[in-house]
Amino acid sequence: MNPTALIAEDEPLLAQALRAELALAWPELQVVAAVGDGLSAVREALRLLPQILFLDIRMPGLDGLAAAAELADSWPTDEAPLPQLVFVTAYDEYATRAFDAQAIDYILKPVQPERLQRTVARLKESMALRRSTAVPGEDVLASTLAQWRRLLNAAGDPAGTPLKFITASEAGSSGATVHMVPIDEVQYFEAADKYVRVLTATREYLIRTPLKQLLPQLDANAFRQVHRAVAVRTDAIASVHRDDAGKLSLTLRGRSEALPVSRLYAHLFRAM
């Protein structure tokens, strides 16, 4: 069977150019869908289960990074292995340097045929290796998830000096009073609609900074992302629970709710 791919690119002319260049560089590749936003990319990828995803990093609504994180959790690995992932990006020195350092494939906009040829060669090699390697499915899944984690980390923004305080409004208040919340008191952050919830052991605050912009500003030794929408203080974790389906959840000291752990981050608790 011919390999299959999905293109997610919000600029129609660039999507058309990528499709045309792929037809020249890899005639056997079947592009099963081309969409213009991250939500459509997730929906169509889960419906069609393509072997390769070309995701634009910057798209309206759900961007390429968030779409990849969503797919990592939702992908039916019992039906098809996680797809190969290639990011499409406008030229950005930091992003391309990070991708190169991790040996991760990306395509620059506008499409450069020579660069695309190298990406196609790597994809073919990787797919051939998958077919020829007789390893258990779980090992393939773990390896692919590790690659996706590296890719998502490489595509993030460079970190600066970690935050010491968060300026936030208390949940349920009129917002007239602004609180300076010490980062050391925060148990976890959770993305929710247009806000990010900031939870301490006893109180809840709201900020408008998106979680993906907040994460690089946090001390990586103090906070860990455990879900695309949740980052927790590691020393606040009280227990980790695994249900009958193998899914993990956390409870934190001073909090009663259970926080889901995404498939991408389950490796942090592999010793269980």
Gap between the Cα atoms of 245 and 48, Å rounded? 24
Residue 52 shares a structural domain with residue 94: yes
Angle at CA of residue 257, ends 253 and 263, nearest 5° = 95
Instruction: Determine how many CB atoms are found less than 10 A away from the CB of residue 39.
Output: 16
Q: 161, 216, 158: which is closest to 189 by C-alpha?
A: 216
Burial category of 38 from C-beta neighbours within 10 Å (exposed 0-12, middle 13-18, buried 19 and up): buried
19 within some domain: yes
Judgement on whether residues 120 and 37 belong to the same structural domain of the protein: yes
pLDDT of residue 92: 62
Mean pLDDT on 1-10 = 94
Whole-model pTM?
0.69
* C-alpha–C-alpha distance, residues 8 and 59, integer Å: 8
d(CA 3, CA 132): 16
Please give the residue that has the higher pLDDT: either 68 or 232: 232
- Mean pLDDT (whole number) for 134-148: 62
Average pLDDT over residues 174-199: 88
Q: Do 66 and 132 belong to one domain?
A: yes
Please report the pLDDT score of residue 199 as a whole number.
95
Lowest mean pLDDT among 39-43, 62-66, 163-167, 196-200: 62-66
Q: Which pLDDT score is estimated for 91?
A: 61
Mean model confidence pLDDT for the chain? 85
Q: Tell me, what's the pLDDT at 272?
A: 47
CATH number of 83's domain: 3.40.50.2300
> pLDDT tens-digit profile of 190-236?
998 889 999 999 999 999 888 887 888 889 889 999 998 999 999 99
Neighbours of 28 (CB within 10 A): 9
Range scoring the smallest mean pLDDT among 54-58, 106-110, 120-124, 133-137: 133-137
> In the listed set 154, 177, 198, which residue is the last one of a domain according to the structure?
154
Rounded to whole angstroms, the Cα distance separating 187 from 230 reads 11
Give the separation between CA 240 and CA 74, rounded to whole angstroms.
21
Do 187 and 254 form a contact (C-beta atoms < 8 A)?
A: yes
Is residue 52 predicted with pLDDT exceeding 90? yes
Q: What percent of the chain has pLDDT over 70?
A: 83
Q: Is residue 261 included in any domain, yes or no?
A: yes
Mean pLDDT of 53-65: 85
pLDDT per residue as tens digits for the range 237-257: 999 999 988 889 999 998 999
Q: Is 135 in the same domain as 89? A: yes
Alpha-carbon span 265 to 215, nearest angstrom: 15
What number of CA atoms fall less than 13 Å from residue 247's CA on the CB side? 10
Residue 219 lies in a domain: yes
pLDDT for position 127? 85
Closest CA relative to residue 187, chosen from 238, 128, 129? 238
212 with 259, same domain: the answer is: yes
* Structural domain containing residue 222: 165-269
* Statement to judge: residues 72 and 193 lie in one domain: no
For the segment 34-39, the average pLDDT, to the nearest whole number, is 94
179 Cβ contact partners less than 8 Å away, ≥ 6 residues apart? 167, 168, 169, 170, 205
Strand partners, 199: 188, 204
Number of H helices, E strands in the chain: 7, 15
Q: Please state the domain count of the chain.
A: 2
Average pLDDT value for residue range 150-160: 56
Domain termination residue (choose one: 113, 128, 154): 154
Instruction: Give yes or no for residue 161 having a pLDDT over 70.
Output: no
pLDDT over threshold 70, residue 67: yes
Tokens 């660039």, residue? 14
By the 8 A CB rule, do 224 and 234 touch?
yes
Residues 231 and 130 in one domain: no
88 φ/ψ sector (left φ>0, alpha ψ -120 to 50, else beta): beta
| Amino acid (1-letter code) at residue 198 | V
Q: Look at residue 77 and tell me whether its pLDDT is greater than 90.
A: no
Does a cis peptide bond (omega within 30 degrees of 0) precede residue 260? no
Q: How confident is the model at residue 95 (pLDDT cuts 50, 70, 90)?
A: low
Q: Which of 154, 187, 214 is the last residue of a domain?
A: 154
| Separation of alpha carbons 92 and 94, rounded Å | 6
Residue 160 belongs to a domain: no
CB 187 within 8 A of CB 195: no
Distance CA 77, CA 81 (A): 5
